[in-house]
Amino acid sequence: EREMSSSPLLDEEEEVRGRGEGSCCGSQRRWWWEAETFVDKGEAKNQVLFSVPMILTNMSYYSITLISVMFAGHLGDLQLAGSTLANAWATVTGFALMTGLSGALETLCGQSYGAKLYRMLGIHVQASMIASLFFSAVVSVVWWFSEPILVALGQEPAVSSAAAAYMRPLIPGLFAYGLIQCLLRFLQTQSTVLPLVVCSVVPLALHVGITYLLVHTAGLGSSGASASAAISLSISLLMLSIYVKHSKSSRDTWQGFSSEAFKHVLPNMRLAIPSAVMVCLEYWAFELLVLLAGLMPYSERSTSLIAMCVNTEAVTYMVTYGLSAAVSTRVSNELGADNVEKAKNAVAVTLKLSIILALTIILLLIFGHDIWASSFSSNPVIIREFASMSPLLSISILLDSAQGVLSGVSRGCGWQHLAAWTNLAAFYMIGMPISIILGFKFALYDKGLWIGLICGLFCQACTLLFITLHTNWAKLGLYVKKEQLPVHV
């Protein structure tokens, strides 16, 4: 088998392997406050070059579903309400789940690539695709019968019916999205990111025309809008599949379909299920805030305001997610290559970059909150209320940026189960109870809800940071070499 060139994010210089004595506690402190320079410029440059394509890729996939909702929304108030509800329901029950399940590959493929076990990348991605297809089939049943489920959850029957009509044509898109996420992680862990941009931006450009043809020319209405999203996602899947099969860069990592993949499905699920849980718990916490806002006095205003804050947080997180993907790849690659010190250095650099990026976004929000709010609503009361929420929103953006990076470290190391327990405790044992108490009992309303979320994010970030700092990295096991989770805390 030919020798593949190392990842462009892997430093090719010779180094002392960091698994001996003294690489645990003492060297860990040098990550943060004993570094000779504030930021390792070479590492930072490579991470930025990796992050930007990932940001564009994620924004493109987000925009595909958003554009479909916008087209449906222009058909009438009922279609707007139905498509918006359907998109939120699809995200929390399907798309977030698919994203989470693929997180296992950030550990398995990333460490395999660093360890030069190139053939195993193809085996792991096939195992993940099998799991993705299974869960997509389960979720598709839920989507098909979403109308009675939404009515049972308290949604208006007419809106629930419109949402169900929107979701059924989207079901093929769920299968495509799950497989897309597997291929994204497969290529991401090899630091092959530019093709990801092409395979997401081109379908996005085609999506506008496809949606117009189905909604207006063919007269399919809101069902045409969701069907167009499924078609565009399928186009992206086809492009990614062609690239993986025929690209020279994947020649050693993809050697065709193999029955061996079935043997790795259960080991894959040991990481995939906790990964899905950690992602879904966080998504659900934000959606729960919107539901709680609907129970408040002046519920229409409160719901609009909290929804604006949630959407703002989601957009900023997509930007910082590029760094999360970068640190996940860096850590998994370097651990696979037995370069512990370089893995720790990558974490330090990414955290610093995330703070710089978050502060930049916060400054833009502070000085441009009225402009940003006006893109959601023309109501002066809501714009004024959003301005009063900006300081709290700034704090949550900073914490969310930091935890995003630390969650990336967890995926790179194989700590998904620890992150899942952390998210459960932080959001549902601390954050949400505080939101309810402050929002309702102390009558802080919208601000009370968001303060509770901040408390949850703070606990989440602090716990993940504690795990990262106090892990004995010198004794960290590798998932690709042992059939057990690599945790030595």
pLDDT at 480: 66
Mean pLDDT, range 17-29, rounded to an integer: 42
Whether 483 and 470 have beta carbons less than 8 Å apart is answered as: no
Taking 50 as the threshold, does the pLDDT of residue 19 lie above it? no
Nearest to 163 by CA among 146, 182, 183, 186: 146
Q: What is the 3-state secondary structure (H, E, C) of 69-127?
A: HHHHHCCCHHHHHHHHHHHHHHHHHHHHHHHHHCCHHHHHHHHHHHCCCHHHHHHHHHH
Alpha-carbon span 108 to 404, nearest angstrom: 19
More confident residue, 28 or 82: 82
Structure-block tokens of residue 461: 């970030």
Alpha-carbon span 327 to 486, nearest angstrom: 18
pLDDT at 303: 86
pLDDT at 327: 96
pLDDT tens digits for range 114-156: 999 999 999 999 999 999 999 999 999 999 999 999 999 888 8
Which residues have a Cβ under 8 Å from the Cβ of 20 and sit 6 or more positions away?
474
Taking 80 as the threshold, does the pLDDT of residue 10 lie above it? no
Exposed/middle/buried for 215, CB within 10 Å: 0-12, 13-18, 19+?
buried
Alpha-carbon span 92 to 321, nearest angstrom: 18
Q: Give the confidence band of 35 by pLDDT, cuts at 50, 70, 90.
A: low
Alpha-carbon span 103 to 128, nearest angstrom: 9
Cα-only R_g, the chain: 22
Percent of the chain whose pLDDT exceeds 70? 89
Spell 395-408 as b/e; 16+ CB within 10 A means b.
bbbbbbbbbbbbbb
pLDDT at 482: 46
More confident residue, 380 or 18: 380
pLDDT at 36: 53
pLDDT at 477: 59
Taking 80 as the threshold, does the pLDDT of residue 12 lie above it? no
Sign of the CA dihedral running 200, 60, 334, 262: negative
Q: Give the confidence band of 252 by pLDDT, cuts at 50, 70, 90.
A: very high
Helix axes 77-90, 41-73, angle to 10 degrees: 140
More confident residue, 374 or 228: 228
Q: Mean pLDDT over all residues of the chain?
A: 89
pLDDT tens digits for range 327-365: 999 999 999 998 999 999 999 999 999 999 999 999 999
Alpha-carbon span 110 to 124, nearest angstrom: 10
Taking 50 as the threshold, does the pLDDT of residue 443 lie above it? yes
Q: Give the confidence band of 476 by pLDDT, cuts at 50, 70, 90.
A: low
Taking 80 as the threshold, does the pLDDT of residue 4 lie above it? no
More confident residue, 68 or 319: 68
pTM above 0.85, yes or no: yes
Mean pLDDT, range 365-377, rounded to an integer: 89
